[in-house]
Structure 1
Amino acid sequence: MTIFSPPAALIPLAPRRRPKGRPGARILVLRPSASGFPPLSASTRDDPDIRRRRIRIRAWRRGMREMDILMGRFVDATIDSLPEAELDDLEALLDAQDDEVFRWLSRAAPVPACYDTPLFRRIAAFHTHEKPLDL
């Protein structure tokens, strides 16, 4: 008869010790924003080219592949012609959760008033087609 012994991965480990430091020393903890990106600095906000490049990267790296395609293609096609006010609306939309925006774009849920902007309607119209696309 063999006695079962759990694999080493299941054996509890000793609790970790806190790193030693100077008494009373403060540790700086950087927390990401809700979108996962650090907030824009004033100098970045002043440079429209950097702002547009940042928006383009955020549009293509959403987290859901479907949202990457929906937002990324729209941004690639229109980012150079968007005025500052619509860039603000676009950044607010990029801060929203992917699953919520996907439901709004697919008309599965109503769009909240704060996101129901002319830009949002242009994004939805950009992806509305009469027939299936021939990719």
Structure 2
Amino acid sequence: MTETRETMIKRLRMRSMRRGIKEMDLILQAFADESLAGFSDEALVLYDQLLSENDHDIYGWIGGQIPTPEPYLNLVTQIARDAEGVTRPD
């Protein structure tokens, strides 16, 4: 059974707000609410892959403490930019 775009966005929004650490809940939930509806199908697949990564790694990428892997660089840059005012890793 193939997942519809609408179902995929709902699933990704849920995965964005049910993370392992509260900071990632706040950052990714706000990002998902603002951005996912405008994503291409390919961008949604990439975001889905990002959500499979370890929260501490994603948090470090967003905060710039660890280098972001190339496939995620543009996406993480966008998330970090949008994290301003939500919670910003130091």
Unmatched segments (≥5 aa) in structure 1 = 1-41
* Structure 2 unmatched ranges of 5 or more: none
With the length of structure 1 as denominator, give the TM-score of the two structures. 0.59
- Where relative contact order (Cα < 8 A, 6+ residues apart) is larger, the structure is 2
Higher helix share: 2
Amino acid at match of 1:88: V
* Aligned with 2:40 (options 83, 108, 113): 83
Q: Report the Cα offset of residue 99 of structure 1.
A: 0.4
RMSD of aligned Cα (Å): 1.6
Question: Of 99, 104, 110, which aligns to 2:56?
Answer: 99
What's the counterpart of residue 67 of structure 1? Answer: 24
Q: Give distance in 1, aligned partners of 2:70 and 2:48.
A: 16
Give distance in 1, aligned partners of 2:41 and 2:63: 26
Q: Name the counterpart of 1:56.
A: 13
Give me the whole-angstrom Cα distance separating, in 2, the residues matched to 1:75 and 1:128: 14
Aligned pairs, how many? 86
Q: Greater CA radius of gyration, 1 or 2?
A: 1
TM-score between both structures, scaled by the size of structure 2: 0.87
Q: Which moved more, 1:101-110 or 1:118-127?
A: 118-127
Matched-pair identity in %: 26
